[in-house]
Chains A and B, each alone.
Chain A
Amino acid sequence: AQTVTQSQPEMSVQEAETVTLSCTYDTSESDYYLFWYKQPPSRQMILVIRQEAYKQQNATENRFSVNFQKAAKSFSLKISDSQLGDAAMYFCAYRIPSGSGGSNYKLTFGKGTLLTVNP
């Protein structure tokens, strides 16, 4: 079974600094998708960034980037120039691609990392 582990329950960062959130996962699949979701106090689940496992290049979305290490099954999120609005719970999630058979529509989430941004 696939599992997603976020080993940092809480993290804090100074405004304008950089922070990295860790995520590891366990799977026997060779092709899959990884996601980072942001959940602010409003509870809305917001997709931050997505990585396809077959792509060697790390995904980047503005100030958000990932360090995807497939062999190590690691998928960390780096937030550069942190802003007060980045304060939220961050969830790492995994899914196998459509067409892979089985439950390819299910997202498996980690328990989350609560990020605090200090002014």
Chain B
Amino acid sequence: NAGVMQNPRHLVRRRGQEARLRCSPVKGHSHVYWYRQLPEEGLKFMVYLQKENIIDESGMPKERFSAEFPKEGPSILRIQQVVRGDSAAYFCASSPWTSKNYGYTFGSGTRLTVV
């Protein structure tokens, strides 16, 4: 009964490259949430997805960031043309639905370092 799996655990990218972060939710969970943790900060909501749908992307920067959760396969957070300010830990969480008031199940995060 695996939890939320995120990979890679660490990712180093040069400025201008693309970063792709993957998240496999808990089996049976159809809701995925991405959060970003900047140094010395708490987690900040980025985007909420259901299978093949973006429900709320109000926390995503307007440019360079995109997310998807296809019918098959993991959810992907994509950052194009990365800059130093994108360096952070990116966490994925999942839930079976929002009608239950869980605190969600989080993955261990991907630490992105932009050099």
Partners in one complex: yes
Q: Which residues of A contact B (CB under 8 A)?
A: 4, 33, 35, 37, 42-47, 50, 52, 91, 93, 95, 97-99, 103-112
The interface bits of chain B over 101-115 (1 if a CB of A lies within 8 angstroms of the residue's CB, else 0) are 101101111010000
Q: How large is the interface on B (under 10, 10 to 19, 20 to 34, 35 or more residues)?
A: 20 to 34
A97, B33: Cβ atoms under 8 Å?
Answer: no
**A3 CB to nearest chain B CB (Å):** 11
Enumerate chain B residues within 8 angstroms of A110, measured Cβ to Cβ.
42
A91, B108: Cβ atoms under 8 Å?
Answer: no
A-facing residues in B28-86 (Cβ within 8 Å): 31, 33, 35, 40-45, 48, 55-56, 58
Q: Which residues of B contact A (CB under 8 A)?
A: 31, 33, 35, 40-45, 48, 55-56, 58, 89, 91, 93, 95, 98-101, 103-104, 106-109, 111
Find the A residue at minimum CB distance from B31: A105
Enumerate chain A residues within 8 angstroms of B109, measured Cβ to Cβ.
43-45
A and B contact pairs by CB, cutoff 8 A, 25 listed: A4-B42, A37-B103, A43-B108, A43-B109, A44-B108, A44-B109, A45-B93, A46-B106, A91-B43, A97-B101, A98-B99, A99-B99, A105-B31, A105-B95, A105-B98, A106-B48, A107-B35, A107-B45, A107-B103, A107-B104, A108-B45, A109-B44, A110-B42, A111-B42, A112-B42
